[in-house]
Structure 1
């Protein structure tokens, strides 16, 4: 084995410490089923070195994982299909999850945290299991695998989880609980809610070809991956520009929650939205405090700059797609820790010409209006529309002009101290990556900073790196 290889030392199946407390199987919902053609989620944290031997470290993770599964028994199960009805379920059968122990003594934290002008090291792709695995494979494969990779002076905890079973909210609640238990907390702080009597529960049946679905994007295209960091101050400047205002607030007066998105905006509806994502009319006026959020401002700048870097014809239609959490949009609201997928995708469209001919506020307003419009009625219409035509989620960049924003800077990714220090970085594997796939992470320093993990074709990435309008905000 070459010295530069990542070596798998062991693999073991971990079972919940106690049998599942869920007495019935969990039916996959209207929000879960479309994700069966998506690959498993791969996210993890780079941690400082623990003062533990390898044996003690792996023992800690095994015991902690076993205890965590008691609170998330669905993740120790498998997916099953009822051959009579065609409905799919999470079988809470305590089949267990896989825990891998790997070593990469040739890699250091410094090598994995290169200067900002360099791409993300390819080594991160080796810190996860179940590459290229579609969530439909959860019929046979574990719904979760965890890989603990010991580096020269750090540890990487990589978690791979079935996307038809969890969205980002549920993924990070599991991860946070795993860390909480590992560091010896006697009681978990955020128990998941496994209810299924929601608007997403449906009698609709999603049909599959023999053998299951296929991936909807090519995994062979050349790509570059890079982290762009935006400080709180830079994001405030973007927000001010998008709202055509002066940044009168001092940085210390702005909370992290406000930086990301004012949830109060979700209570104001903009209706009569065309199916292609354009706003045609506003039927309820916005309050004076309703403004384009910081994150929407950042997304608008990215949309403009990537579109420019792609050198699209002025008449070419571009699409910016983002997933929204529906838990707080429904009336009555879902529990904040509802377990499963509770997301819908919002496409916003514009021609390249109109996006670039107008200023930042124009594109930001298109995104903002679509997000604000996504209220209870819109969520329910989306459910009914899917029920009339059940289908898988088409993940990819099919016309060369699409951007897909995933994850969220509001997820508590750095709240993962396993007992010896908070993460040095948050990174992902190779899953679900294609030209135009963006993932948003909180910056390590918090306070409203954001990291964008940007995946683009090499020539587009080069154009983005040379886009002065975009790069002036990058630190």
Structure 2
């Protein structure tokens, strides 16, 4: 099927010989993020079953995510700054074109081993209770990505974490808010620090990035975008192949 990118939603019904049916749905991200997309599909499913008692109607007022007047960004917003210059050797850069996809399943035991490494930090008194499992795992993945890419120690690398701003804004967005409320939580660090420092260092970088995403930062984020509407496509374009950066998303809370 050839997609028409002037449309905002796609629906494809597939009938199988066994009698089964699948429904595929595609949605333009300017209309809705993943949370709202699931809300749409689940509500549609409820209506199709005739279950109208538990429907949570969508909240369609997009003005809750508009910039202030006048816009007043208060942070540099490194998530929209040019990517750090790549310092990879030419042969390593060429090898990045041979991409593969892998799925890794981490058990609770393996996650506990990661957590236990915080106690082996060279004698420093680190309060591991303040770090979530996601922060520990994200920091570990960031370190491993730097090692696998064989990045030089002086190579800066950025981590971006997609976060749902609904509950972080003050006041929080109403239940059923329909739109795109995804923000980028950014962090930057030198590869040498991520790889050579104790395990807790990368995790603390992740933690600091997430803690920063409060109402002040998110409002500043919206103001920054308002001031750069003419170059918006450049600000949000995906990274190039061979990028030294990393994107991490977690759907645990949305799907759990």
TM, length-normalised to structure 2? 0.73
Equivalent residue, structure 2, for 1:443: none
Question: Cα 1:306–1:289, aligned 2, differ >3 Å: closer, same or farther?
Answer: closer
Judge conservation of contact 1:167–1:340 (CA < 8 Å) in 2.
yes
What do residues 129-182 of structure 1 show as CA deviations (whole Å, max 9, x unaligned)? 556x6xxx3xx3242323435275965432211111111111111222233344
State the Cα distance separating 1:318 from its structure 2 match.
1.3
Query: Are residue 295 (structure 1) and residue 171 (structure 2) matched?
Result: no
Equivalent residue, structure 1, for 2:248: 405
Query: Are residue 166 (structure 1) and residue 42 (structure 2) matched?
Result: no
Equivalent residue, structure 1, for 2:80: none
Judge conservation of contact 2:13–2:21 (CA < 8 Å) in 1.
no
Judge conservation of contact 1:324–1:344 (CA < 8 Å) in 2.
yes
State the Cα distance separating 1:336 from its structure 2 match.
3.6
Alpha-carbon distance in structure 2 between the residues aligned to 1:380 and 1:358: 34
Alpha-carbon distance in structure 2 between the residues aligned to 1:298 and 1:130: 38
Question: 1:94-133 counterparts in 2 under 5 A?
Answer: none
- Give the total of aligned pairs: 220
Question: Cα 1:365–1:152, aligned 2, differ >3 Å: closer, same or farther?
Answer: farther
Of structures 1 and 2, the one with the larger relative CO (CA 8 A, separation 6+) is: 2
Alpha-carbon distance in structure 2 between the residues aligned to 1:147 and 1:236: 43
Question: 1:90-239 counterparts in 2 under 5 A?
Answer: 137=5, 140-148=6-14, 150=16, 156-200=22-66, 222-238=98-114
Question: Cα 1:352–1:161, aligned 2, differ >3 Å: closer, same or farther?
Answer: same
Alpha-carbon distance in structure 2 between the residues aligned to 1:177 and 1:235: 35
What SS is found at the alignment partner of 2:64?
A: coil
What do residues 384-404 of structure 1 show as CA deviations (whole Å, max 9, x unaligned)? 222222212121246521111
What do residues 398-417 of structure 1 show as CA deviations (whole Å, max 9, x unaligned)? 652111123522222xxxxx
Equivalent residue, structure 2, for 1:327: 166
Alpha-carbon distance in structure 2 between the residues aligned to 1:158 and 1:373: 36
Q: After TM superposition, which residue ranges in structure 1, 4 or more long, deviate above 6 angstroms?
A: none
Equivalent residue, structure 2, for 1:396: 239
What do residues 45-104 of structure 1 show as CA deviations (whole Å, max 9, x unaligned)? xxxxxxxxxxxxxxxxxxxxxxxxxxxxxxxxxxxxxxxxxxxxxxxxxxxxxxxxxxxx
State the Cα distance separating 1:350 from its structure 2 match.
1.2
Alpha-carbon distance in structure 2 between the residues aligned to 1:154 and 1:299: 38
- Structure with a larger share of its residues in strand: 1
Judge conservation of contact 2:153–2:192 (CA < 8 Å) in 1.
yes
State the Cα distance separating 1:333 from its structure 2 match.
0.9
Question: 1:343-354 counterparts in 2 under 5 A?
Answer: 343-354=182-193
Moved more, 140-149 or 299-308: 140-149
- Structure with a larger share of its residues in helix: 2
Judge conservation of contact 2:9–2:25 (CA < 8 Å) in 1.
no
User: Which residues of structure 2 form unaligned runs of 5+?
Assistant: 71-96, 121-126
What SS is found at the alignment partner of 1:381?
A: helix
Question: Cα 1:156–1:351, aligned 2, differ >3 Å: closer, same or farther?
Answer: farther
Question: 1:66-105 counterparts in 2 under 5 A?
Answer: none
Alpha-carbon distance in structure 1 between the residues aligned to 2:133 and 2:237: 28
Alpha-carbon distance in structure 1 between the residues aligned to 2:205 and 2:196: 14
Query: Are residue 364 (structure 1) and residue 198 (structure 2) matched?
Result: no
Alpha-carbon distance in structure 2 between the residues aligned to 1:341 and 1:186: 25
Question: 1:24-39 counterparts in 2 under 5 A?
Answer: none
Q: Which of 202, 217, 238 lines up with 1:378 in the alignment?
A: 217
